[in-house]
Structure 1
Amino acid sequence: GISGIDALKALRGDLATAHIPVVALSANAMARDIEMGRQLGFFRYLTKPIVVEEFMTTLDLALEWAQKNAVSPKVPEKP
């Protein structure tokens, strides 16, 4: 029940998920919507209807980026 922008803010605000590339998928396909999505920090901004090849390429790029920029979660030390 939240917008994609609110979801992105929540993910970026949590140390456990801040490093995850977030892909927007929206029916808002105007150039200003796409640019705003990029400026807000979405990894990619895809529009509907989905172009399967573009979607799959985006997933590949996001996974590649995540692997290169992996962040090791801090595990609390045992007392």
Structure 2
Amino acid sequence: MAHILLVEDNTDNARALSRLLTRRGHTVVCAETGQQALTAANDDGPDVILMDIGLPDIDGLEVTRRIKADPATSDIPVIALTAHAMADDRAAAVDAGCVDFSAKPINLPDLLGRIQTVLETRNRKAISA
């Protein structure tokens, strides 16, 4: 299973999603701010990051740009989580470096499928490198 960094400023949402992911066998570390996310991405070495876009200090798109610009974290796949699910929002997430996008409220089976796909893609790249 995966080691997941969940970046979510809403404590109730973070707790609920973390619990659901943990029940599915994943290890979850939570960050509530962009700065905490940057620190956790470097310190915890997650397999995948679930990134809320609307964060209180540094928005999730900028956090993703910084993660992707840092050679130590650039290969960590980031899946955007947002209540804003318009085509422009998806394009902005991809432009920032997100590999996928999941709209809130979260559909758990869909998100689990996205996580699995991202991890399989990452593993294939690692094997072929």
TM-score by length of 2: 0.50
Between Structure 1 and Structure 2, the one with more strand by share is 2
Name the residue aligned to 1:22.
78
Q: Structure 1 unaligned runs (5+)?
A: 72-79
Amino-acid identity (%) = 31
Q: Which has the higher contact order (CA 8 A, sep 6+)?
A: 1
State the shift of 1:36 in Å.
2.2
> How is 1:48-67 mapped onto 2 (pairs within 5 angstroms)?
48-67=104-123
Q: How does the TM-score come out when normalised to structure 1?
A: 0.78
SS class of match (1:69): helix
Q: Hey, what does 1:45 align to over in structure 2?
A: 101
1:33 aligns with 2:89: yes
**Secondary structure at the residue paired with 1:2?**
coil
Q: Which residue of 2 aligns with 1:77?
A: none
Q: Tell me how large the CA RMSD over aligned residues is.
A: 1.6
Deviations 1:36-67 (A, max 9, x none): 22233211011100011110001101111111
Aligned length: 71
Bigger radius of gyration: 1
